[in-house]
Amino acid sequence: MTKRPTTATPFLSDIQTLRARAREHLEAGAIASSYVGDVERTIDILQTVLATEIVCVLRYTMHTVAAAGISSEGVKAEFKQHAKEEHDHALAVAERISQLGGVPNFNPDGLSQRSASQYTEAENLVGMIRENLIAERIAVDHYRELIRFFGDDDPATRVMLEGILRVEEEHASDMHDLLVAHQGRPMLPAT
């Protein structure tokens, strides 16, 4: 049996140390001294995530209302479900901002500048599906980058974003499937 090498600093804190650290700096709220991320930068980043989710809620909601045509009912239902899930994401992100000591920015002024995705309207059902697929692809790429950025410095934020990413990937797949169903093949221009 191979023995593990010992280190000068123990990996796990003893119970007394954990209890003592928890009593320090109570004004910091949920963020204890063991948090190694940059709280202000994390809040700033999460404000962009919040704006992105709000813009997605607005876009999907508008498309739910505006979608028309003989085959629009199923697509409208999908848009409506996605709007609800994006709303849930926005609330989760806002809660995390609050946990970190920030104030979630729901102000509509500057919302489109803070968002990674865009609010776009379309003239027809296929255009709406395309715009939502593009927005979901932006969100997926953005969240993958943020997950790598947070890594082990902020596992709570990373895990939250991983959960959101899974849903955004499902949304992208749904939009792709709808696009194929309504066009026969995806028609995204190469960027």
CATH of the domain at 150: 1.20.1260.10
Residue 185 pLDDT level (bands cut at 50, 70, 90)? low
- 11 lies in some domain: no
- 29 lies in some domain: no
- Helix H or strand E segment including 155: helix 155-183
Predicted pLDDT at 36: 75
pLDDT digits (tens, 9 = 90+) for 92-147: 999 999 999 999 999 999 999 999 998 988 889 999 999 999 999 999 999 999 99
Predicted pLDDT at 28: 62
The yes-or-no verdict on residue 1 having pLDDT over 80 is no
9-23, 45-59, 138-152, 174-188: segment of lowest average pLDDT = 9-23
The yes-or-no verdict on residue 188 having pLDDT over 60 is no
Distance from chain centroid for Cα 39: 18
Residues 183, 5: Cα–Cα separation, whole Å: 61
The yes-or-no verdict on residue 191 having pLDDT over 60 is no
- 160 lies in some domain: yes
**CA nearest neighbour of 85 among 174, 181, 179, 182:** 174
Angle between helices 72-99 and 155-183 (to 10 degrees): 170
pLDDT digits (tens, 9 = 90+) for 67-97: 988 889 999 999 999 999 999 999 999 999 9
- 14 lies in some domain: no
pLDDT digits (tens, 9 = 90+) for 153-176: 999 999 999 999 999 999 999 999
Counting the structural domains of the chain, the total is 1
- 6 lies in some domain: no
- 191 lies in some domain: no
- 55 lies in some domain: yes
DSSP characters for 69-99?
STTHHHHHHHHHHHHHHHHHHHHHHHHHHHH
Q: What is the domain range of residue 124?
A: 37-183
pLDDT digits (tens, 9 = 90+) for 29-80: 666 666 778 899 999 999 999 999 999 999 999 999 999 888 899 999 999 9
The yes-or-no verdict on residue 9 having pLDDT over 60 is no
* 3-class SS of residue 4: coil
Is residue 129 left, alpha or beta, with left meaning phi > 0 and alpha meaning psi from -120 to 50?
alpha
- 16 lies in some domain: no
